[in-house]
Amino acid sequence: MPDPAVSPTPPVLLTSLLAREDLSLRRIAGPVDADAVVHWVHTSEMADPYPYLLGGELLLTAGVHIPEAAGSGTYFDDYVSRIVAAGGAALGFGVAPVHDTVPRALVAACETHGLPLLEVPPQTTFSGVARAVWQLMAQARLAELRRVTEAQQSLASAASRPDPVPSVLRQLAQRLGGWAVLYGPEGAEIAGAGREPADEVRAALTRLAEVVRPDGPTPPAGAASQTSSASRAHSTGPRSGEPAAAPAQSAHRPGPASPAGHQPSTDPSRPAPASATDTTAGLHLAAYALGAGHGFVLGVATPQRAPGDHTVVSVAAVLLSLLTGEQQSGTGAARSSALVRLLLGAPPEEVAPLLGGERWVVVQARPDGAGAPDAVAASALGAALGSALVDPAGDVVRVLVPADRAPDPLPGWTLGVSAAVAPHDWPAADTQAARALARARATRTPLLRHGPRPALADLVPPDEAAAHARALLAPVTAHPALTETLRTWLSLHGSWDRTAVALSVHRNTVRQRVTRCATLLGTDLEDPDVRMELWFALRHI
């Protein structure tokens, strides 16, 4: 249940209220604090307003409650001390119709107790002050919503890139102006982004991550409510918490950072909190357990905690949970069963129903940027394609996808897609996907599908075609690099540059290999009839 002492809207800086020319408010006592905020406005003529305050108010009064002999006693000192004890943010005193000036004793009491005192001129009504505060709050709320919305959009866009986890962390760190890090199940830092803090802060954040890890230590009982459970009689500041605070936040500081020096409880019967916060070396720390339940934790360290930060981090935590969690397009038990059956000799067509379909396509993909895709990026690709059957093999990621889930182009990836085949033709489909990927990269096409159709080659019996191919290509089949270069070069209509791109080699290497093929075969590769015959043969080996 939400804390009734926490304002549902962002607080307003006291300096922003003083800057309103239409109010003409003037600070005449109390500290000048640029960070002082007002959570709401309350008007009271009670001699003791303490029972009616929640904390964080700008209390407005016209001094009706002030007795005639108040200046010679302790009335004002008692009055101001009770406002401070209740957590009041500031006191606004209305000049006229009761008092022509602000009582000097009230000014002195506010200076003594450190309570900002504002003079409200006769032309400014208390309702006008309240309206100005709500207007400023509405503007702050709108700005907060706009900031959160923009952050959500940028984080979602980052999650669709080929390197989704580093991209999300970079975007999160940029939005918070701090450091974001992902911890693995064993507690090691998997990836980080932003301004790296000092070793002391990194160590404290690592300890905080252990508090929220499912199998890690949990904070002592009652720690989650320590931020707002202080006794009212002993409070010396605002009782309202951070507007955007998480309900499950913990104020406990694990290990040496704990103010009481307590070590976290290791009671296995108590679940770990979903999030925890701490402060070290002037930085605000927070740790969030990712929802997949595999032990991943998101940690952030920021110089300040602004309204909306918790929402932004929560969005990032959800995205990272999806990126690090096991994909559920087929159950883990079914996939395990299918693997065991294959290893024990069952044919692919027997285990295919356990994996999700009777007909399949093989997708081979390469990221557009430099470098090989990591396991997390490969998992994200599988999630986008709707399959958990993912194999990151070097520079290429192979995904086995049910044929009813037609792959679409994905930003940041180049895809080659095979024809839909039965399980016993998976190896042939893998070859089709590889050739489609090579052509897609050569032609700079985001996605290219293998398109089988009846051809003249189908008129020749397969056995005879294979025998002819082996005899014709015998001089080059002993050299796999030559065979693949010749196949790619012919498929790309003799383009040196495109073949070089498809094979990731220099164009001069392509020329040398093709020349070598022509020499070994003893034929003229410029002759279209020769090219047609070689292409026919290459399709049957």
DSSP per residue, 368-386: SSSS---HHHHHHHHHHHT
Q: Which residue has the higher pLDDT, 462 or 199?
A: 199
Window from 188-192, 319-323, 452-456, 536-540 with minimum mean pLDDT: 452-456
**Gap between the Cα atoms of 60 and 130, Å rounded:** 9
What's the pLDDT score for residue 515? 92
Six-digit token string for 352:
């295919």
What's the pLDDT score for residue 257? 38
Is the pLDDT assigned to residue 218 strictly greater than 50?
Answer: no
Is the pLDDT assigned to residue 15 strictly greater than 90?
Answer: yes
The percent of residues above 90 in pLDDT, for the chain, comes to 33
Q: Which residue has the higher pLDDT, 110 or 310?
A: 110
What's the pLDDT score for residue 459? 58
Window from 87-96, 220-229, 417-426 with minimum mean pLDDT: 220-229
Is the pLDDT assigned to residue 332 strictly greater than 80?
Answer: no
What's the pLDDT score for residue 394? 78
Per DSSP, the residues of 492-532 read TTT-HHHHHHHHTS-HHHHHHHHHHHHHHHTS-TT-HHHHH
Q: Which of 33, 40, 36 has the alpha carbon at shortest distance from 54?
A: 40
Residue 407: HSE in the Cβ half-sphere, 13 Å Cα cutoff? 34
Neighbours of 286 (CB within 10 A): 26
Q: Which residue has the higher pLDDT, 369 or 193?
A: 193
pLDDT band at 387 (very low <50, low <70, confident <90, very high): confident
CB 1 within 8 A of CB 27: no
**Does the bond joining 97 to the residue before it have cis omega, within 30 degrees of 0?**
yes
Is the pLDDT assigned to residue 125 strictly greater than 90?
Answer: yes
H helix or E strand, kind and range, residue 533: helix 528-538
**Gap between the Cα atoms of 67 and 75, Å rounded:** 9
What's the pLDDT score for residue 204? 92
Is the pLDDT assigned to residue 156 strictly greater than 50?
Answer: yes
- Classify residue 241 by its DSSP letter: -
What's the pLDDT score for residue 377? 76
Is the pLDDT assigned to residue 513 strictly greater than 90?
Answer: yes
What's the pLDDT score for residue 330? 40
**Gap between the Cα atoms of 227 and 426, Å rounded:** 59
What's the pLDDT score for residue 519? 92
**Gap between the Cα atoms of 497 and 490, Å rounded:** 13
Residues 6+ apart with CB under 8 A from 177: 302, 303, 304
pLDDT band at 164 (very low <50, low <70, confident <90, very high): confident
What's the pLDDT score for residue 456? 58
Burial class (CB in 10 A: 0-12, 13-18, 19+), 195: exposed
CB 113 within 8 A of CB 74: no
Backbone angles phi, psi at 414, to 5 degrees: -115, 125
Please give the average per-residue pLDDT across 174-199, as a whole number: 88
The end-to-end CA distance of the chain, in Å, is 69
Please give the average per-residue pLDDT across 441-450, as a whole number: 86
Please give the average per-residue pLDDT across 290-314, as a whole number: 83
Q: Which residue has the higher pLDDT, 246 or 477?
A: 477
Please give the average per-residue pLDDT across 147-171, as a whole number: 85
What's the pLDDT score for residue 28? 95
Is the pLDDT assigned to residue 147 strictly greater than 90?
Answer: no
What's the pLDDT score for residue 118? 96
Q: Which of 507, 486, 511 has the alpha carbon at shortest distance from 435?
A: 486
Q: Which residue has the higher pLDDT, 327 or 286?
A: 286
pLDDT of 241-296, one tens digit each? Answer: 333 333 333 333 333 333 333 344 445 555 678 888 899 888 999 999 887 566 78
Mean confidence (pLDDT) of the chain: 81
Burial class (CB in 10 A: 0-12, 13-18, 19+), 292: middle
Is the pLDDT assigned to residue 117 strictly greater than 90?
Answer: yes
